[in-house]
Structure 1
Amino acid sequence: MFEHAGATPSPEVFRTRPGNRRRLTPPGEAELDRLGLAGEASAWLSPLAYNLTVSHSHRFVWYRVAKVATRTIRHHCESHGVSLDVDHAMRVRYPLASFTDYFTFAFVRDPLDRFVSAWRDKVVGANYYSFDDATHARMQTVEEFARWTAAQDLSAVPGTDQHLTLQSRMIDLNRVDFVGRLETFDRDFAEVCERIGAPTVPTAPRNQTAPGGQDRRVSDELRALVTTMYRRDYQLFGYDPDRP
């Protein structure tokens, strides 16, 4: 299909498998391997890997940020005939030239709200991180979980769980066209829908720990830990770490 190593692949070769929405089809994987073999200096692939969802029919690339309305956006697409050809790809270095005319977007949220949401969902509601019983009992205190998280490299992908990774690390900031916020989701998602040609239907985030759904009073220790861990997100996205 591509006659020489420098050929720019068609974006439509990249799709996820019908039975495994996290993995690309064999032709897509083979194409990434081909581009990777060209060497880092070729700049065919993005320098970093991202969690991507791609629609060829609506020509968009969505940089998925875990714990930021991902279920809501996916449900909206599925409900309104927006094909997700690359459905839930994880940690993919993508071919830059293939998607230059695709609309790229992401959503972010206040780092403190996101961290507490991850803790409630993955620690209180489950044992996602496979702690032993004694450790899991300690982690029921959010400050204890924050101390544990602070020991991780939150910019490492792969290496850090996607629910805790810096939001700024999960978005190709050099190539993103639009960054919406969970706090203004209806307005921002309506703009995304208009840009990609999808129906605009007012919808509330399906995430159970969306803003307004929880008491936001937190300890000084937790606020300080989250502010330090996610300093880059606060700076880049303009959130106020001292917001009540």
Structure 2
Amino acid sequence: MSSPGSSPDPEVFRTRPGNRRRLTPDGQDVLDRLAAAGEQSAWLSPLAYNLTISHSHRFVWYRVAKVATRTIRHHCETHGVSLDVDHAMRVRYPLAAFADYVTFAFVRDPLDRFVSAWQDKVVDHNYYGFDVPTLERMQTVEEFARWTATHDLAAVPGTDQHLTLQSRMIDLNRVDFVGRLETFDRDFAEVCERIGAPAGPTTPKNQTAPGGRDRAVSDELRELVATMYRRDYQVFGY
């Protein structure tokens, strides 16, 4: 920063070559100095987000886990779109520095997203490190939903990113475009047009169907998810 009141050069923010989740020492130092300058400065976003940033295409992507993140990242990598901040975790970012960057995010029906997280992180992998008896119980999606309901899904840090409220993972006051997984082709094409990137990919593959592939969705699961993710349903209109 050239002076205490000036906005930092956005290009100082990059993630480390060997660690795509952490900022370089220079970038982290700038954030630390901004934070130390005092909360009243309003230089940093009040909340922290998982961010991907491209300086070449001037965008900030608020990453929402389980919503086409690998598809979007692969598209950028294969079409020459630099990801200077690759996958920074829980970062408060300098608002003024990125005021002229395009900001976007993608969301998904909360029920589909929850079931996808359960299938991937519980059934296919013991991501949460459950002991054997607990893991056996968690093979029932309703049991996993009851366990999830004991957490504060708005807490970041504190809640696993695959379960956090989607509305908490996006800076709703500053996002320019929110696309939907259900209309991904159309919406990502619009994002590509806005950021000056080549046309978007086809619909993401390996999506978990509602209820977990061919599994019927129980009334209990619908009610649990509707309660846990009420804010997402309200904000995004699902």
TM-score, structure 2 normalization: 0.97
Aligned to 2:82, the other structure's residue is in SS state coil
Counterpart of 2:191 in structure 1 is 192
Partners of 1:186 and 1:213 in 2: CA distance: 22
Partners of 1:216 and 1:10 in 2: CA distance: 50
1:183–1:211 Cα contact (<8 Å) kept: no
Aligned to 1:105, the other structure's residue is in SS state strand
Change (3 A) 1:8 1:210: farther
1:72–1:207 Cα contact (<8 Å) kept: no
Partners of 1:133 and 1:213 in 2: CA distance: 22
Counterpart of 1:163 in structure 2 is 162
Aligned-residue sequence identity (percent) comes to 84
Change (3 A) 1:199 1:219: same
Give the deviation of 1:156 after TM superposition. Answer: 0.2
Give the deviation of 1:213 after TM superposition. Answer: 8.5
Give the deviation of 1:228 after TM superposition. Answer: 0.1
Aligned to 2:222, the other structure's residue is in SS state helix
Alignment of 1:169-208 (within 5 A): 169-208=168-207
Partners of 1:136 and 1:211 in 2: CA distance: 22
Counterpart of 1:103 in structure 2 is 102
1:69–1:207 Cα contact (<8 Å) kept: no
Counterpart of 2:145 in structure 1 is 146
TM-score, structure 1 normalization: 0.95
Counterpart of 1:27 in structure 2 is 26
Give the deviation of 1:4 after TM superposition. Answer: 2.6
- Unaligned regions of 5+ residues in structure 2, if any? none
Give the deviation of 1:40 after TM superposition. Answer: 1.0
Counterpart of 1:233 in structure 2 is 232
Partners of 1:192 and 1:3 in 2: CA distance: 33
Change (3 A) 1:73 1:213: farther
Counterpart of 2:85 in structure 1 is 86
Change (3 A) 1:220 1:24: same
Change (3 A) 1:180 1:209: same
Aligned to 1:193, the other structure's residue is in SS state helix
Give the deviation of 1:5 after TM superposition. Answer: 2.0
- Unaligned regions of 5+ residues in structure 1, if any? 240-244
Aligned to 1:77, the other structure's residue is in SS state helix
Equivalent residue letter for 1:232: R
1:109–1:181 Cα contact (<8 Å) kept: yes
Change (3 A) 1:41 1:114: same
Give the deviation of 1:210 after TM superposition. Answer: 5.7
The Cα offsets for residues 89-127 of structure 1, whole Å up to 9 and x where unpaired, read as: 000000000000000000000000000000000000011
Cα RMSD over matched residues? 1.4
Partners of 2:7 and 2:32 in 1: CA distance: 13
Aligned to 1:122, the other structure's residue is in SS state helix
2:111–2:210 Cα contact (<8 Å) kept: no
1:71–1:206 Cα contact (<8 Å) kept: no
Aligned to 1:21, the other structure's residue is in SS state strand
Q: Does 21-30 or 204-213 show the bigger shift? A: 204-213
Partners of 1:201 and 1:180 in 2: CA distance: 13
Partners of 1:194 and 1:131 in 2: CA distance: 44
Aligned pair count reads 238
Counterpart of 1:242 in structure 2 is none
Partners of 1:211 and 1:219 in 2: CA distance: 11
Give the deviation of 1:38 after TM superposition. Answer: 1.0
1:50–1:90 Cα contact (<8 Å) kept: yes
Equivalent residue letter for 1:150: A
